Amino acid sequence: MGFLSCNAESAIATCDPYNWDRRNKTKLIKIRDFTYPELVKATNGFSAESFLGKGSHGTVYKACLDDGRLIAAVKKTYPNLSIAIHSNCTTCTTPAENEIEILSRVHHQRLVNLIGSGEDSKGRKLLVVEYMPNGSLYSLLHCSSRPPSWTRRVQFALQIAKAVQALHLANPPVIHRDIKSSNVLIDESWNARLGDFGLALRGHVEDVRIKCTPPAGTLGYLDPGYLAPGDLSTKSDVFSFGILLLEVISGRNAIDVNYSPPSIVDWAVPLIKRRDFSAICDDRIGSPVDPGVMDNLAILAARCVRSTAEKRPGMAEIVEGLKIASKRVNAPHIWNRLRRSVGLVEESRTLKTVIDSNEEVINADKTIRGGSRRNRKVSSVSSVGSENEPIQWVRERVIRSKSTGSFGEIKMGRFDSRKKAVKMPVVKLSKSRSMGILHSPQLLRYKNNIGIGLEMKRVIDSREVESSMSKLLIGLDEKSEREMQEKPLVSII
């Protein structure tokens, strides 16, 4: 395949295989056409009562369609907004058109799926998507008086990981480019769904469509290695997912001037490297009952935000890692008992080895900054409570990051105590400093055969424990891994 030029219209036909190669064309999902009057009626004339929220691309309204039988969300894009996403570099498309193009080809239970589209009198596209009644993950984490429990957080993380995995497995793959907590919406059954495909790109990395589209994303979530179109890969989504995971673990914003350092990567990764997991866990809910859950999540997140894209795990590995965390968080007492039974043989010795190899990574990356319990936060969070008792807390609000495409600039601001926006300098779309991480999973070795009581058998199948435990040992040295596989891990009495 040749890439002669991405400026001439004619080049599109020859360079972009999805414009002409029938074999690669994914089946279009049937989406409905809505008339503009229909959408006006359904949203009560786009009234304030129907207003759900606004983003950098437009406003969103609740719509009652089909005589109230279908509740949906209608996205109305701001006028004159276009982004440089096309197989031809000179042509722009609107986020809505881009979203229709992508979502009419992918459908998944963990995505905010497209129902249909409409057009206003000026020819601007309106999107009709599934309605998510429980807000965004951003608002649950940062604005709710009852922050989600660990079980919920792990469930959300796993569901979004599955959504991203499905996108990356599509043919051609879809790279979302804007994974962040405000783009994770919660449906009526409290499942997390990934939405907002305004910046998404569909194609293989070698396709002209990808090669000619300028970098875009949200400050704080953006892969620091994604500086030019050619740098984009599915691993950029992995980086953003890692930021999301750190946000889920800590309950802090991706960029938050109330912390030192303000970047979540610069703050969390040094603490994770020191295995100071409790320092990054959201102090409003405290540590999970099974401390292994934090180990799993934190190390996984740190691996996702490694500075070298190739060293980041793929979404399949992330999904597997989160499945283990999910099992542990749902049955903490079993896991704690299992841990006590197997013992942490040679932990201090192996830990030293891990720390030594971590040091190598630290030296190689050379960019570790900040991150200690002392500089955990610049300002304090007023109260801490368990998830069972409703708590109130006040945080200094930080305006959340907005997506930025080729519009280039992004604004950051801070609210003062009177909740008035204090204008901060407009910063160019720059990279958040990130650094790599070592891989330091908890190293477990088991002693001969382990006795586990009948009551445990009732709750969890032995083979399930076995497979989960062996997956836990990702990163274990080869010899120990072989031993693990040779001996039965669990013997049920």
Ligand X SMILES: Nc1ncnc2c1ncn2[C@@H]1O[C@H](COP(=O)(O)OP(=O)(O)OP(=O)(O)O)[C@@H](O)[C@H]1O
Show binding-site residues.
76
Give 52 or 368: the residue with its C-beta nearer to ligand X.
Answer: 52
Q: How far is the CB of 127 from ligand X (least distance, A)?
A: 9
CA-only gyration radius of the chain, Å: 24
Q: From the annotation, which residues make up the binding site for ATP?
A: 76
Find out whether 12 and 95 touch, Cβ atoms under 8 Å.
no
Q: Peptide bond before 79: cis, by omega within 30 degrees of 0?
A: no
Which burial class, exposed, middle or buried, applies to 280 when counting CB atoms under 10 A from its CB (0-12, 13-18, 19+)? buried
Q: How far is the CB of 400 from ligand X (least distance, A)?
A: 8
Residue with tokens 């000179």: 90
- Going by C-alpha positions, the residue among 102, 106, 55 that lies closest to residue 76 is 55
Q: What residue type is 312 in one-letter code?
A: R
Which pair of tokens denotes residue 261? 């350092």
Q: What residue type is 191 in one-letter code?
A: N
Q: How far is the CB of 448 from ligand X (least distance, A)?
A: 53
Q: How far is the CB of 95 from ligand X (least distance, A)?
A: 8
Residues that bind ligand X (CB under 6 A): 52-58, 60, 73, 112, 129-132, 135-136, 178, 182-183, 185, 195-196, 402-403
Which pair of tokens denotes residue 252? 């802090």
Give 181 or 440: the residue with its C-beta nearer to ligand X.
Answer: 181
Name the active-site residue from 21, 66, 178, 223: 178
- Which residue's Cβ lies closest to ligand X? 55
Residue with tokens 């955990």: 376
Crossing angle of helices 462-472/332-342, nearest 10°?
70
Which pair of tokens denotes residue 334? 């079993």
Residue 229 C-beta-side C-alpha neighbours within 13 Å: 20
Asked about 178 being catalytic, the answer comes back as yes
Q: How far is the CB of 177 from ligand X (least distance, A)?
A: 11
What gap in Å lies between CA 196 and CA 181, rounded to an integer? Answer: 11
Point out which residues pair with 116 in neighbouring strands. 32, 128
Give the DSSP H/E element, type plus range, for residue 458.
helix 454-459
What gap in Å lies between CA 184 and CA 156, rounded to an integer? Answer: 9
Give 183 or 326: the residue with its C-beta nearer to ligand X.
Answer: 183
What gap in Å lies between CA 463 and CA 461, rounded to an integer? Answer: 6
Give 128 or 293: the residue with its C-beta nearer to ligand X.
Answer: 128
Cα torsion through 465, 466, 467, 469, rounded to 10: 80
Give 402 or 457: the residue with its C-beta nearer to ligand X.
Answer: 402
Give 87 or 136: the residue with its C-beta nearer to ligand X.
Answer: 136
Q: How far is the CB of 214 from ligand X (least distance, A)?
A: 17
The residues annotated with a catalytic role in the active site are: 178
